[in-house]
Amino acid sequence: MPRIKSALELALERTESVQSDKAGIGQFEAKQRGKKLANEFLSDPQMSLGEAIKKTPKEERASLKQGIFDVLVTQITVPTSRDGMKRLEAIGNGLQTMIVDAGFKTLYRQLTQALSHYLDEADRYAEAIQRQYEPKLRQKEAELSRRFGREVRLDPLQDPEFVNFYNQNMNTLKANYQAAITQVREQARALFHP
């Protein structure tokens, strides 16, 4: 009578021929360490990415660099405040550790200048949008005051119509700068060689 094998025995038989790819696992782990390192760098831009890369074994450096690069390049975005500009500068410094190309450094500097201009322009846009919408807001306040029999003051950001108008105009402005970000990301990918 043949012996009935347990599920564990059958699974072990099937996986006997499967060998673990230690090099592949090491590369994967190095890439994950690189991603973690990039996030630590973004939290503390004074940290030296170059030193961390040098401490990594040579066979894992390319994967570590790839992990760092993947995180940094995706963090290039249109800033929402002046603090966002500091973050963009840190990202640029990190990318320049990974990409040794004077042309990229110049391109990134131009991007940060353009995005600084964007923040100035966004402030002017916000003021102009509020001025343009103010008569309509005052009309709504007058209507509500008549309806409730007391003075009503509206915050423009609580008016859905204003919020839609504001977002539509600000998104149009932002889209103009998004093309520059896409260009810098593509250039970074083209120049990056782990």
Whether pLDDT at 5 is above 70: no
The pLDDT mean for the chain works out to 87
Question: According to the 3-state scheme, what is the secondary structure of 79-118?
Answer: CCCHHHHHHHHHHHHHHHHHCCCHHHHHHHHHHHHHHHHH
Domain-located, residue 113: yes
Checking if the pLDDT of 35 tops 70, the result is yes
The answer as to whether 72 is a domain residue is no
The answer to the question of residue 183 being in a domain is: yes
Confidence label for 18 from pLDDT (cuts 50, 70 and 90): low
* Per-residue pLDDT tens over the stretch 77-86: 999 888 889 9
Residues 31 and 15: their CA atoms lie apart, in Å, by: 27
Q: pTM above 0.85? A: no
pLDDT of residue 66: 94
Is the pLDDT at 23 greater than 80, yes or no?
no
Number of domains in the chain: 1
pLDDT at 142 over 90: no
Q: How many CB atoms are located within 10 Å of the residue 72 CB?
A: 27
Q: How many helices (H) and strands (E) does the chain have?
A: 7, 0
Can you tell me the mean pLDDT for 186-192? 92
Q: Which domain holds residue 154?
A: 101-194
* pLDDT bracket for residue 17 (50, 70, 90): low
The span from the CA of 143 to the CA of 139, in Å, is 6
- 125 in any annotated domain: yes
Taking residues 9-16, report their average pLDDT: 68
Does any domain span residue 146? yes
- For residue 126, is it within any domain? yes
Please report the pLDDT score of residue 37 as a whole number.
93
- What is the reported pLDDT for 15? 65
pLDDT of res. 43? 92
Establish if 110 belongs to a structural domain: yes
Overall average pLDDT of the 25-41 stretch: 89
Residue 22's pLDDT is 67
Residue 87 maps to a domain: no
pLDDT in tens, 148-187: 888 888 888 888 888 898 899 889 889 989 999 999 999 9
The pLDDT score that the predictor gives to residue 21 is: 62
